[in-house]
Structure 1
Amino acid sequence: MSTPLVEARGIVKRYGPTTALADGQLTVLPGESHALVGRNGAGKSTLVNILTGLQPADEGEVRFDGEPAPALADRDAWRRKVACVYQKPTVVPELTVAENLFINRQPLQRGFISWRKLRTEAADLLATWDVHVDPEARTADLKVEDRQMVEIARALSFGARFIVLDEPTAQLDNREIERLFTRMRALQDSGVTFLFISHHLQEVYEVCQTVTVLRDARWITTAPVADLPRGALVEAMAGESVTEQAERQQTAPAAGEAPVLLDVRGLTSPSYTKIDLSVRRGEVVGLAGISGSGKIELAETMAGLHTPTAGTALIDGAPLPFGDVRAALDAGVGCVPRDRHGQGLVFGMTIGDNATMSVLDRLGRFGFVGSDRRRGLATELIDRLDIHAEGPDQPVSDLSGGNAQKVVMARALASDPRLLVLINPTAGVDVKSKESLLARVDSAREDGTAVLVVSDELDDLRRCDRVLVLFHGRVVAEHPAGWRDHELIASIEGVDHG
């Protein structure tokens, strides 16, 4: 057996009274893709911070190629060992690809940056690792998958051959994911080793050879992916049997002949064309499609983020205001946006502030907010959403991904909306948090709320009474509850409609 490229043993990390990692273990062999999975709060991020030298372990050791990890202050030595490509970009969006690749180490000529040499070296680096991106392109203009490859190339240029991918597929559609996996396999053939972190377990089976499970801040198991059935993997993550999972996914009875709450006719914009759809009270309607299908823009239009060029939308018979989020909120629309980091949360504020900011006008008069009423509502929402927190005054930045997403959901529900728009509501959250968030969909249905769910996750769409599929901006198929995965995927990928 070859010497592990990376080995972590007996890792313990405490933050005050909180033990973030009680027994972290990881052994990654050269040239493999190794999955690290576990629910939010299991200790994955803490272990990654220690593996990348961002934080020291209180106990235990990390070794690279059999040698002890560099001193924490020796950043150059760490960069030669390991790099992490995070869900949130670490590139500077306004700089070019070449400038990002060699930031703070630009080639100099007579004391000045040699722009010609910079572009040449960037082109050579990208070609070496088969990354097809224009070195002079502005990084902000890149697709997510290309930005990720630029970050990987930058890491490889330091000499690192161990790359941590933290939720790399969270913002990619199926085709982009497959392209990323193809690139990963090619890089593996070139001697690059990956630690792959994802909540999408199917991806673990597609791209990884080995999987390590953390639960409750402890190592649970490491096994070849081929030897660990999906049920056993989920059970290792959850700590309990998941035989009831299929039953939980059964869809509730359809809304039947309940009154139509949302009625959309002929809605058109640069992203979609002549959309007709209706959602009844107590009905959950899904929108599916590949990236660029128009599904997200259509949902965002319902939430007041865009103004269509033609068509109408009525909510309870009254015109739905376009291009005005506040007016849409007043009209009875609650929204969980697609990106909790950029659109969903204000990280400098508390859980209570974030959960109640959309209903401050209800918590006081003449521009003054009653602190007791705000705190009471926030506490109620924390309990209702089962947000694991110390209380409403805790900074939202302290929360795990699953609990942070619950805060976004809490704010959407705080206004008691008539129409609830959910865009990728479970992206980047663990199995338990996903189930908790989807249970809110069932509660909304029971309350008579109309729900519009946009998601790339099939499990999110199973809760729907029916799913509309968009392809190139048009509705091309409708699948009632009980659809089979291959049927829906065929519609999404454009297989069954030319």
Structure 2
Amino acid sequence: MGPEALSTAPPPAAQPDVDPIVEMSGISISFPGIKALDEVSFRLFPGEVHSLMGENGAGKSTLIKALTGVYSIDGGSISLDGHAVEFTSPAHAQRAGIATVYQEVNLVTNLSVAENIFLGREPRRLGLIDFRKMRTDAKRVLRTLNLDIDPSSLLSTHSIAVQQLVAIARAVDVRARVLVLDEPTSSLDQREVEELFGVIRRVRGQGVAVLFVSHFLDQVYEISDRITVLRNGRLVGEHPAAELPRLDLISAMIGKDLAALEALEEGTKREATERVDGGALVTATQVGRKGTIEPFDLEIHRGEVLGLAGLLGSGRTELVRLLAGADRHDQGEVRFDGNVVKLRSPREALDRGIAFASENRKTEGLIGDLSVRANIVLALQAARGWVRQIPRNQQDEIADRYIKALDIRPPNPNQLVRNLSGGNQQKVLLGRWLLLEPKLLILDEPTRGIDIGAKAQIQKLVATLAEEGLAVIFISAELEEVVRLSHQVGVLRDRRKVAQLTNDNLAVEDILEIIAAEAEKSP
């Protein structure tokens, strides 16, 4: 079944022998210059896991925000348990029994784990917050996720992965009838994903309806009972997961058949022999930072993609932060373009031609309340100084060039970045750094949480940049992606670089064996 067969919505899949707890009919939402949802219908039944699939910009997040009271709808209706509802806020939706965990962790990091779990519903005694009971109850909630962490510890002391699980623990404890999980596994390793799926199966068994959004196809098929596909703000179809082959799902999501998808990815497979070697650009000798990452050696050549592979917490991000000036190394020596450098800040790194796109684009990259244009020219303006403002016509020319080059959607330079999909936000961030014409581009999880079409576009861009002589460090939790793009692959574990592999027909299994072998040696 190709995309043409799915171009119009088929009859709904056979429903369970119960009434839907959520029914959204003919939902339409428009923003300036774009129709985000066009008469989309969606059903969610008690005791099922229902995945919402589609490319970035397909309307998934907009549909979720319409359900949870973030956005008001322009047309259509929403019913909960057979009764028409109009939620005016997420708190309103939560009181009605709909709990949501979004892709970006939205917690208060300067409060404790327990305070975050019970924020807004703290247990009280004699009118005062009962912190002892809060910690006890939080420990019970965390135990359901097999998390053994101190409820009194500050949330900021924990990794993004643990923070994500705390957000899920909070949602689970609300005892919702509907649990919405928007990319909940994007920061979790395999063990944590298995723990989360155990929780999802338990709440499903209790009759809770789970709306699940993920770009990891393996996870979708592992946990889902039903799948609804959106494309360009329209409903493509609703299917039992067991009756929707993966290739048909991908074709439905992107509107292209498998041959077109393979053509899009053609040319991104890298091998060491394909490198345009312009000589060593960066040489790190026994560089490290106490308590952060053990001393490592690393060499990056012009025209080379160096992939970094390892489990979450292995030290991938910690390593590149030293090279990007975000953290300072206290051991070893870094040479850039043949000269010893001591980078004290990302600004100093930028001045030398090192651009760093952090994995946390929300807090360390983009400014959501600024336009696409303003975000693209931001770094260039900072380099020029705020006194020497870039003329508006030049800003427009720059923005239009990168909107076209990177296929940013919608192609509107005035669009607020916070209203873009995750994949298009990532493209805006890439445009900002490419505008500075760096010598080394460091990309930390640039394709995390974005759809397969946008992912292929970014991969192709990385391959093209390397062919043009740019040095790229590429980090991804998806080992297949690292192998596809990289000429060399550095493997990390327990914040140590344990191997560097040349991509001579390198396979994912080769990397996994090294990680597993190192794990066996660890105490």
Both structures adopt the same fold (TM-score exceeding 0.5): yes
SS of aligned partner of 1:342: helix
Indicate whether 1:463 and 2:485 are aligned. yes
Cα shift readout 1:78-113 (whole Å, capped 9, x = no counterpart):
434211101223332222333333333334444333
Number of the residue aligned with 2:513:
490
Matches of 1:178 and 1:341, distance apart in 2: 26
The alpha-carbon distance between structure 1 residues 195 and 370, as it changes in their structure 2 partners (threshold 3 A), is same
Bigger drift between 203-212 and 376-385 goes to: 376-385
SS of aligned partner of 2:274: coil
Matches of 2:393 and 2:73, distance apart in 1: 41
Cα shift readout 1:145-166 (whole Å, capped 9, x = no counterpart):
4434443343344441311111
Bigger drift between 91-100 and 361-370 goes to: 361-370
Letter of the 2:421 counterpart? S
Letter of the 2:275 counterpart? A
Cα shift readout 1:451-495 (whole Å, capped 9, x = no counterpart):
111111235311111212112212335151532233333334447
The alpha-carbon distance between structure 1 residues 445 and 142, as it changes in their structure 2 partners (threshold 3 A), is closer
SS of aligned partner of 2:431: helix
1:167 to partner: Cα distance: 1.1
SS of aligned partner of 1:274: strand
1:261/1:315 contact within 8 Å kept: yes
Number of the residue aligned with 1:83:
99
The alpha-carbon distance between structure 1 residues 260 and 100, as it changes in their structure 2 partners (threshold 3 A), is closer
1:364/1:370 contact within 8 Å kept: no
1:188 to partner: Cα distance: 2.8
Letter of the 1:213 counterpart? V
1:70 to partner: Cα distance: 5.9
Number of the residue aligned with 2:197:
181
Matches of 1:399 and 1:296, distance apart in 2: 25
SS of aligned partner of 1:297: helix
Number of the residue aligned with 2:49:
33
The alpha-carbon distance between structure 1 residues 181 and 487, as it changes in their structure 2 partners (threshold 3 A), is farther
Number of the residue aligned with 1:313:
334
Letter of the 1:251 counterpart? R
Number of the residue aligned with 2:280:
260
What are the within-5 Å matches in structure 2 for residues 27-426 of structure 1? Answer: 27-69=43-85, 72=88, 75-76=91-92, 78-123=94-139, 126=142, 132-246=148-262, 248=266, 249-251=268-270, 254-255=274-275, 257-270=277-290, 271-360=292-381, 367-426=388-447
Letter of the 2:469 counterpart? G
1:471/1:494 contact within 8 Å kept: no
Letter of the 2:356 counterpart? C
* Number of residues of Structure 1 aligned to a counterpart in Structure 2: 498
1:299 to partner: Cα distance: 1.4
Segments of 5+ residues of structure 2 without an aligned counterpart are 1-16
TM-score (normalizing by structure 2): 0.86
Matches of 1:131 and 1:7, distance apart in 2: 34
Bigger drift between 390-399 and 307-316 goes to: 390-399
Matches of 1:88 and 1:496, distance apart in 2: 30
SS of aligned partner of 2:303: coil
Letter of the 1:463 counterpart? L
1:256 to partner: Cα distance: 5.9
SS of aligned partner of 1:100: helix
Segments of 5+ residues of structure 1 without an aligned counterpart are none
Indicate whether 1:3 and 2:19 are aligned. yes
**RMSD (CA atoms):** 2.8
1:416 to partner: Cα distance: 0.9
1:70/1:78 contact within 8 Å kept: no
Matches of 2:327 and 2:71, distance apart in 1: 42
Letter of the 2:477 counterpart? D
Bigger drift between 256-265 and 163-172 goes to: 256-265
Kindly indicate whether structure 1 or structure 2 has the higher relative contact order, using CA contacts under 8 Å at least 6 residues apart.
2
